[in-house]
Chain A
Amino acid sequence: MLKLGFRSVLAHRLRFVLCTVAVLLGIGFVSGAMVFSDTLSAALKKNFAAATADITVTPLSPLSGTPNRPPTLSSDVANRIAAVPGVAATDGQLLVPDIEILAKDGRPIDTYSLATFGASWPHDDRTAPFKLVAGSAPWGTEQLTLDRNTADREGYELGQKVKVVTPVRAVTATLTGFTTPGRSGTSAGAPLVSFDGASAQLLLLGEPGWTSIAVALQPGQNPDAVSRAIQTAIGDTVQVRTAAQVSADGESALDDTFGGLTAALLLFAGLALFVGTFLIVNTFAMVVAQRSRELALLRAVGASRGQVTRTVLAEALVIGVVGSTLGLLLGIGVAGLIQYLYQRLDLAIPSATLQVSAATIIASYVLGVGITAAAAYPAARRAGKLPPVVALRADTTVPERSLLVRILLGGFLLLMAVLMFLIALTANGLPAAILVGLATALILLGLVMTLPVLSRYAVRALMSPLGRQAPIVLGRRNAERNPRRTAATASALMISLALVSGLVTIAASAKASVDRGIADAIGTSELVVTGDGGRPFSTAVGDRLANVPGISAVHRVRQSAGEVGDQRVTLAGVSDRTLDGPITVEVTNGELGSLAQGQVALPRNLANQLELAVGKTFDLTTTTGKHRLTVGAIIEPNHQLDAVVTSLPRFTELGGGQIDATLYLEVADGTDLATARQAVLGAIQDYPSVAVRDQQAYAAAERGPINGVLGVVGALLGFAVLIALLGIVNTLALGVVERTREIGLLRAIGMDRPQLRRMLQVEAVAIAVFGAVLGLLVGVLAGVAVQHVMVDDGLSVLDVPVLQLVGAVVIAAAVGVLAAIWPSQRAARLDVLRAIATE
C-alpha cells in the first residue's frame, strides 16, 4: 500500500509539493523550538552538574510575586541549622538580582535583558555557587570580583576600578578576581558581581540577611532525612531542598527565562500547521475528486473500501514522512542559526552542541504524519465510499455533498458565540476578555463551517466592482464553483487575519490608552525618573535630586508585590503630597487624607474585583506576612497607580523595601525644563541606568513594549500571509491541472495569455479578499470587545487603526495577484492541442 502511495505521490509531484512545504514549515518551527530549548538546557545542565550544596535552605516567601526586596534569613537561622544532627557546616549566601555593572564608558553593560546578579563570596568551596578562576577573593567594600565572561567582554583587568549600581547604592571598587558565572537557578550564565559576605549585605541589601543558607552534610548522611530534620527545627517559614530538588527547580526556572523564544517559535509552528492543514485538506479533496474514476476502478476490480481509503492515506503518509524529515532538518538549521546569533551577541550563555533528542524526532514525525493523515482522512474516506459504477460513468466528477450539516453545525456554533459575546460584554476585566477570545474562536469555527455557503454570495458581491469582462466573470465563477475549496483556502487567511487584526486593534488601543492615561495621571510633575526596565533604584537618587537647584519637589513612589486572597496586587507607597498634584487622582469615594492614618486607597477597578468599599477591611499578604488594612478612599482607575496605595511609612511597615520605583519631580517656577533636566542628569551621573524624562518622552518609553508586541504581530502577519499565499497558489495550481481541458478550450476559441492570467488572478484575489475581509471583521470585532471589557484595566481608549487594516486588505489582494503568477504561467504554457486531447 505504501508503495502504491509512493508511486502516486511521485506521479503527481506537483500536486503534493505545496502540501509537503506546508508540513515542512510547521514541523520546522516545532523541531526548531525543541532543538533550541534542548540545546540550551543541556548547556545549562552542564553547568548545573557542578556542585551545589547538599541542602539549600531559603526563606519561604508568603508571596509568589516579586517583592521589591528579596526575602532573607538571619545568621541566627544559619546557627540553628548548624546545630541539627548530621549537618557538617552552613554557609550563608546572598544572591540579589537587579544589579548593574557599568562599562568603562560609564554606561550599563548590555545584558540582552538577562538580569545581572550580585552575590556574597562563598566561604566553603563545597557549597559554592560559583568559583574563583583567577586572582583572589574580594575583601571589604573596596574590592569585588566579576565573572570571567563579562570582564573579558568589557575589557576589565585585575586591579582596575569597576563601577556597579545596586538597588542600594552606586559602588566603585577594585577588581581582584575573576569567577565562573552563577550556577543556580535564574542566575546561571548571567553576569555576576561578588563582594565578601559582610560587604555584600551592606552594598547589595543595605541590611543584614542571607537569601539562602547552603548546608554541607557529614559523610554518609541521608540528605532527605537531614532536610526533614532541618524543616522541623526551623519551622515552615523556610524551604528546605536537597541538591536534586534545587537542580530540578533551577532548570525549570531557566526554561522560563528562555521560554519566550521557544513559545514564539511554537506559536509560529502552530499557525503554520493550522493553516497548512487547510491546504492539505484541499489538496486531497481535489486529488480524490480528480481521480475518482481511477479509484472507483480499483473498487470495481475488487478492492475493498478500506483498501481504497488506505491507498489515499498511504499518500498522506508519504507526504507526512517527507515533510517531517525535511522539517526536522530545517528545524535543526533554525536552532543552529539562533544559537549562532546568540553567540555572535557575545552573551555569556553557555553553549553545547545542538541537541536533537529522541523526543524532538518523535514529536516531529508524530505531528507531521498525524496532521497530514488527519487532514487527508475525510478525502480518503470519501474515496473509499465511491461506488464502483463511477468508473463506468462518463462524467468523472462526483457531485458535491450537501452542505446542510455544516450549515446547521456552523449556525449553532455562531449562535453560541454570539451568546458568549453578550455574556462577556456584561462583565469586565481579564476573565471577560478571555471569554471574548473564546467567543471569537467559536465564531471563526462557525465561519469555517458555513463559509462554503457564504462564499458564493460574498465572492460575487466582492468581485462585482471589477466589471463583467469575460476573464473576470470566468475567474469569479471559478472561485464560486467549488465552494468548499474556496472556503477552505479563504479560511486559512481569515483565521490569520482575525488574529492579527484583533491584536493590532488591542495594541493600538493600548498605546492610545497609555498616552491618555499618562496625560491624565501626571499632574504638576514635569520630570519623571524611572529605572531601566522598570528596575527600582537606590533612594540616594531621590535624596540627591532634592538638593538640585531648580527642582522644587521630589515625590517618591515605591512598589512591591502583595496578595489579597489568591489575587496578586501591587502595593504602592507614595510620599506625602504626591497625590492630587504631582499625580492627578480623582477620588470617587472617601478621603485621601485617610492615607496618613495608615488606611489605603484603591482604584475603582481593583476595588470592584476585590469587592471592597470605603470603610471595609481586607487582608494583604506581603513578604512579612498578613496585614489587615482599611480602605480609606476609592479613586478612579489611574495609569500611574494601578495598585493598593499607601503612605510611605505604612509601605515600610508592610514589608516594602527602601528602594524607589518612580520619582516625580516638580520644577521650580522660572526654571527652564531642559535646564532642570540637565541639572538632574548631572546630579546622578553615577546612576546611568536611571532615566529622567519629560511627560512626552515618558509616554513614549511606556509605549515602547507595545511596539515590541506590534513587531511580533508584524512578523506573524508576514508569516501568515506567506502561508496563505502558499494555500492560494496550491488551490490555483491544482485548479489549473484539474481544468486543463477547459483552459485548452478557452485558448482554442481565442483567450489570449493576458486574459488567462487575469482569469486566474481574479480567482485568487476573490479568495484572498474574501478571507481577509472576513478575518478583519472578526478580528476588529474581537479587538473592540476586548477594549470594551478592559476599559478599566488599562484599555481606556479605543483605537481602531483603520489605515493599517485597510492596508492589510490591500496586501491581501496583492497577495492574490502574486499567488496567481506561477499557476498562470503554467496554464499559459499548456499546449493547446494536448490540453484539448486530455481525457
Chain B
Amino acid sequence: MTAPPVQQAAAITTFGLGRSYGSGPTRIDALADVSVEFGQGRFTAIMGPSGSGKSTLLHCLAGLDRPTSGQVLLGDVDLTRLDEKALTHLRRDRIGFVFQAFNLVPTLTALENITLPLDLANRKPDQAWLDVVVQTVGLKDRLHHKPAELSGGQQQRVACARALVSRPHVVFADEPTGNLDSRASADVLGFLHRSVREFGQTVVMVTHDPTAAAYADRVLFLADGRLHEELADPTAESVLDTMKRLDSSSAQAG
C-alpha cells in the first residue's frame, strides 16, 4: 500500500473511522477503522461486495450519518463535531450529492432542481457557471420540464448538475449509474470525469461496475467495513482482476 504518487492537499481525511449498529452479540460493524485521504481535484471510486460498507462510508463522509468512532475532516472542518443544523448547512453549501434514484423533487422543474441548494441558501446562482454546468450536462432544451417528463439518464444528469452548481468542496455519488443502461451511464460518468478534469472538482463515487470505476483516478476496495486494497489509474480490466482476487481470497478466508 503506497501513498498517492502526486502530493496534493486532501479534500477529505478520515482517521480510524468506525460505524457500528446495535450492541452486544448482535453488533454489526458496518465500518471499522477506516483511515483514508481523498485528494483535492481527484476522482475516487469505492468498490466492494454488497454489504461491505460503501454506502455507510459515503454517508459518514458526507455528513449524512454520524460515525461511532474516528474523525472526518472536510478541509479543516471536523464533521463529527458539528451539530445537526451546521451539518445541514454544510451539506447545502459545501457538498454535492447524486443518489442512485429519486434524486429530484417532482414538483420542481429541471432548472429549479438544479438551483435548489442555492435557493435553500438564499444565494443567487452564478449565471456563467450555471450556463457552463447546463451546457456540460447537455440539458439546455429540457430545463423547464418536470422530472416525470425526463428519462432516467436525463434525471441523473440533472442530479449531477445540481451537485455541481454550488461549486461544492466534494461531490458524492452513490451508484449514480446503477439504474441506467450503458449509454446513459457513459453520459453521466463522462460528465463526472470532465468536472474533475476541467473544473478541478473532487468526486467520490460508489459503484459496482468496473467500467464505471475505470473513469476514476483511484479505486478503493472495501470488504467487511475495512479498507482492503487500493488501485491507482484503474482500467476496467485491472479493476476486474482485483475484484476476482479479493473474491477468491475472501472465499478462502471464509
Contact = CB atoms under 8 A, between A and B. Distances in A.
Contact of A481 (B85, B89, B107): B107
Given A470-B119, A470-B120, A749-B162, A742 B99 contact: no
16 contacts: A474-B107, A477-B107, A480-B107, A746-B105, A747-B88, A748-B97, A749-B92, A749-B97, A749-B116, A750-B91, A750-B93, A750-B117, A750-B121, A751-B120, A833-B64, A836-B102
Interface string B110-138: 00100011011110000000000000000
A640 B126 CA distance: 76
A229 interface: no
A753 interface: yes
A750 B120 contact: yes
A474 B89 contact: no
Nearest to B88: A752
A781 interface: no
A481 B167 CA distance: 31
B208 interface: no
Interface string B44-63: 00000000000000010000
Given A833-B64, A836-B99, A477 B108 contact: yes
Nearest 10 interchain pairs by C-beta: A750-B92, A477-B107, A470-B119, A752-B88, A750-B91, A470-B120, A741-B102, A750-B120, A749-B117, A481-B107
Contact of B105 (A745, A750, A752, A836): A745
Interface in A737-759: 741-742, 745-753, 755
Most chain A CB inside 10 Å of its own CB: which residue of B59, B88, B117 = B88
Given A746-B105, A750-B117, A836-B99, A469 B89 contact: no
Given A470-B116, A752-B88, A833-B64, 7 more contacts: A473-B108, A473-B112, A749-B116, A750-B121, A751-B120, A752-B120, A832-B64
Contacts of B93: 750
B107 A745 contact: no
B106 interface: yes
A99 B51 CA distance: 90
A470 B117 CA distance: 9
Contacts of B92: 749-752
A417 to B, nearest CB: 34
B33 interface: no
Most chain B CB inside 10 Å of its own CB: which residue of A470, A753, A755 = A470
Contact of A742 (B106, B112, B120): B106
Given A470-B119, A477-B107, A745 B88 contact: no
A372 interface: no
B103 interface: yes
A469 B105 contact: no
Contacts of A470: 116, 119-120
B110 to A, nearest CB: 14
A503 B89 CA distance: 50
Contacts of A832: 64
A599 interface: no
Most chain B CB inside 10 Å of its own CB: which residue of A477, A742, A747, A750 = A750
Most chain A CB inside 10 Å of its own CB: which residue of B89, B93, B107 = B107
Contacts of B29: none
Contacts of A746: 105
Nearest to B166: A750
Interface residues of B, number: 27
Interface in A468-491: 469-471, 473-474, 477-478, 480-481
Contacts of B108: 473-474, 477
A752 B89 contact: yes
Contacts of A836: 64, 99, 102
Contacts of B119: 469-470, 473
A199 B102 CA distance: 93
B224 interface: no
B229 interface: no
B184 to A, nearest CB: 15
B37 interface: no
A489 B64 CA distance: 35
Contacts of A477: 107-108
Interface string A137-162: 00000000000000000000000000
B65 interface: yes
A835 to B, nearest CB: 10
B88 A751 contact: yes
Nearest to A395: B148
B107 A749 contact: no
B165 to A, nearest CB: 11
Contacts of A752: 85, 88-89, 92, 120
Contacts of A747: 88
Nearest to B121: A750
B107 A750 contact: no
Nearest to B152: A394
Contacts of A750: 88-89, 91-93, 117, 120-121
Given A750-B91, A832-B64, A745 B121 contact: no
B91 A749 contact: yes
Contacts of A481: 106-107
Contacts of A742: 102, 105-106
A833 B64 CA distance: 7
B103 A833 contact: no
B22 to A, nearest CB: 15
Contact of B91 (A471, A748, A755): A748
B252 to A, nearest CB: 33
B117 A745 contact: no
Interface in A751-800: 751-753, 755
Contacts of A753: 84-85, 88
A833 B59 contact: yes
Nearest to A752: B88
Most chain B CB inside 10 Å of its own CB: which residue of A471, A473, A480 = A473
A750 B120 CA distance: 7
A34 to B, nearest CB: 47
Contact of A833 (B65, B102, B162): B65
Most chain B CB inside 10 Å of its own CB: which residue of A469, A470, A741, A749 = A749
Contacts of A469: 119, 122
B233 to A, nearest CB: 31
A748 B97 CA distance: 8
Contacts of B107: 474, 477-478, 480-481
Nearest to B118: A470
A411 to B, nearest CB: 28
B117 A748 contact: no
A477 B116 CA distance: 14
